[in-house]
Amino acid sequence: MINRILTPRELLIGGGSLSQLVPLLGRLGVRRPMLVVDPTILRLGIADTAIAAMREAGLGLGVFSAVVEDPTDTSVIAAADEIRSGSHDGVIGFGGGSAIDTAKAAAILASTGEDVRALKVPRIVDLQVMPLVAIPTTAGTGSEVTRACVVSDTAAQEKMLILGTAALPAAAIVDYELTLSCPFRVTVDTGLDALTHALEALINRNGNAHAEALALSALRLIGANLETVAREPSNRAAREAMMLGATHAGLAVSNTSTALIHGLSRPIGAFFHVPHGLSNAMLLPLVTEYSLSAAPAGYAAAARALGWAPATMGDEEAGHALVRGFRDLNTRLKVPTPKAYGVDEEAYFRLRPEMARQALASGTPGNNPRIPSEDEIVRLYEIAWDGGAIRG
Ligand SMILES: NC(=O)c1ccc[n+]([C@@H]2O[C@H](COP(=O)([O-])OP(=O)(O)OC[C@H]3O[C@@H](n4cnc5c(N)ncnc54)[C@H](O)[C@@H]3O)[C@@H](O)[C@H]2O)c1
Ligand SMILES: [Fe+2]
C-alpha cells in the first residue's frame, strides 16, 4: 500500500522561533506578506516584534485582523479581497486555528479565484497557492501542519471542511511562548482538541505507521502535561510539551483524516457555537465507548500512551480504562455537557437529523473503526445531550 504523507516544507520549532520569521519569508521568496492575525493577539502586543521586524526589513506588509472565531465565508472573502487588492505574494496566519484557517482559505481564494463553497469535501483541493506561513498561538488545532481548513457557510449553517495541498502551509513557526497568555478555558479546550486529533489518527481506518508514531508521541506529551498547563499557565516546560504534542497530533491527523468525534462535533459547533475543542471533548467518552469493540488494540494503545493503563493490562480492560479516563478528565477540566453548556434543548433535538446528515456528508464518520448509520448518529446525539453512556 502506498501512503501519501504531506508536511510543510519547513518547521521552526522552539521557544523564540518567532524571531526567525523574516529570514523564513526570504527563503520562501515572499516580499509582500499579508498578516492575517487574531485581534486578541494584536491587542495583547504578541505580534508587535514580528510586525516591526517585517517593516524594518522593507517588506510590503499588509495587516488583516477582522478574524472571527470559527471563520465564516464572508470573513475569508474579505481577507482574500485585501490580499488581491494589496498585490500580496504570501500570507501569514497568526493566532489560533481561526486565524490560521482564515489565512488558508483567503490564500486559496486569492490565488485561484475559486468560490469558497466549491472547495468543500468531497473535492480534494490540490491546487497551487501562494506560500502560507502558519504561526499558532494555541496548542490545539495543529492547523499549522494540516492539509485541512474549516470555514462556516453562514447561509447553510454548516462548517465546511476543505482538504488538499492548497490548505497545507508552506512553513510553520511553532513557538510555545506564544501560548503563555492563553486563559484557562482556551488552554483546556484547545488541548482537548489536540488530544482528539491524536486519538482519531491512531484508531483511523486510514491509519499508517507515520501517523501512528506521531499520534502516540502526541498522546504521551498531552497526557503528561494537559492538566499541568490547566493548573499552572506559566509552566514553560508544560506549555512547550503541549505545543509539540499539538503539532505532532496535527501531523498525525493530517495524514489520516479525522473520524467520528470530529464528524459529530462540527455540526454542534455550526449550530450552537460551542468552541471546537469543547464540542469534541463533550463527545470523547461516548464516541470512544461506541467505537471500542471495533479497534481494541488502538484504543488500548491510546490508554497506555496517556498513562491511564499499565503496559501489562489487556486490551479490553485498557479500552474501558480509556473511556473512564475521558469521563474523569472532563470532570476535572470542567467540560460541560451540551445541556450544561446552555445549548437550546428544543433546537438541539429538532436539529439532530440535520446534524446527522451534515456529519455523514463530511465523510469523516466513514474513517471510524465502527461506522454508524444516520439513525445511530441521531441516537448518539441524544445520549450526548446530558453526558450519558451507552451502558447507562
Ligand atoms: N485546519 C485544521 O486542521 C483545524 C483542526 C481543528 C480545528 N480547526 C478549526 O480551528 C478553529 C478553532 O481554533 P482554536 O481552537 O485555536 O481557537 P480560536 O482560534 O478560535 O481561538 C479561541 C480564542 O482564544 C483566543 N486566543 C488565541 N490565542 C491566544 C493567546 N495566545 N492568548 C490569549 N488568547 C488567545 C482567541 O482570540 C479566541 O478568542 C475552529 O474554527 C476549528 O474548526 C481547524
Ligand atoms: Fe479539531
**CA separation for the pair 295, 65 (Å, rounded):** 43
Question: Any idea where the domains of the chain sit in the sequence?
Answer: 10-179, 184-384
**Nearest bound ligand to CA 159?**
1
ipTM value: 0.99
Place of cell 471533548: 281
The atom of ligand 1 lying closest to the CA of 104 is: 1
**CA separation for the pair 162, 148 (Å, rounded):** 6
**308 Cβ contact list (under 8 Å, min separation 6):** 223, 318, 321, 322, 324, 325
The atom of ligand 1 lying closest to the CA of 183 is: 33
pLDDT over threshold 60, residue 392 = no
**CA separation for the pair 129, 246 (Å, rounded):** 25
pLDDT, one tens digit per residue, over 138-155 is 999 999 999 999 999 999
Q: What does the CA dihedral 52, 54, 58, 64 come to, rounded to 10 degrees? A: -90
Q: Report the pLDDT value the prediction gives residue 113, as an integer from 0 to 100.
A: 96
pLDDT, one tens digit per residue, over 63-75 is 999 999 999 999 9
* Coil vs helix vs strand at 57: coil
**Nearest bound ligand to CA 254?**
1
Q: State the CB neighbour count (10 A cutoff) for residue 175.
A: 22
Cα–ligand 1 centroid distance for 181 (angstroms): 13
Mean pLDDT of 331-346: 98
Closest by Cα among 81, 88, 83 to 28: 88
Q: What lines the ligand 1 site, CB under 6 Å?
A: 38, 40, 69-70, 95-99, 101, 137-138, 140-143, 146, 148-150, 178-179, 181-182, 186, 190, 193, 276-277
Cα–ligand 1 centroid distance for 132 (angstroms): 17
Cα–ligand 1 centroid distance for 97 (angstroms): 4
Integer angstrom CA distances of residue 346 from 23, 65, 377: 54, 36, 18
Cα–ligand 1 centroid distance for 337 (angstroms): 20
Q: Report the pLDDT value the prediction gives residue 338, as an integer from 0 to 100.
A: 98
Q: Which CATH architecture has domain 10-179?
A: 3-Layer(aba) Sandwich (3.40)
**CA separation for the pair 257, 250 (Å, rounded):** 10
**CA separation for the pair 82, 322 (Å, rounded):** 47
Q: State the CB neighbour count (10 A cutoff) for residue 79.
A: 27
The overall average pLDDT reported for the chain is 97
Mean pLDDT of 114-141: 97
Mean pLDDT of 15-37: 98
Cα–ligand 1 centroid distance for 269 (angstroms): 13
Name the residue of 40, 104, 189, 239 to mutate for ligand 1: max ligand atoms within 8 A of Cβ: 40
Name the residue of 72, 150, 236, 258 to mutate for ligand 1: max ligand atoms within 8 A of Cβ: 150
Q: What is the CA radius of gyration of the chain?
A: 20
pLDDT-derived band of residue 132, with 50, 70 and 90 as boundaries?
Answer: very high
Residue with CA at minimum distance from ligand 1 atom 28: 137
Residue 43 burial class via C-beta count within 10 angstroms: exposed 0-12, middle 13-18, buried 19 and up: exposed
* Coil vs helix vs strand at 369: coil
Cα–ligand 1 centroid distance for 73 (angstroms): 17
Residue with CA at minimum distance from ligand 1 atom 5: 141
DSSP readout, 240-267? HHHHHHHHHHHHHHHTT---HHHHHHHH
Name the residue of 6, 7, 18, 38 to mutate for ligand 1: max ligand atoms within 8 A of Cβ: 38
pLDDT, one tens digit per residue, over 33-70 is 999 999 999 999 999 999 999 999 999 999 999 999 99
Count, residues in the chain: 392
Are 129 and 168 contacting, i.e. CB atoms less than 8 angstroms apart? no
**CA separation for the pair 151, 118 (Å, rounded):** 12
CATH number of 184-384: 1.20.1090.10
The atom of ligand 1 lying closest to the CA of 181 is: 32
Cα–ligand 1 centroid distance for 162 (angstroms): 17
Mean pLDDT of 13-22: 98
Cα–ligand 2 centroid distance for 196 (angstroms): 7
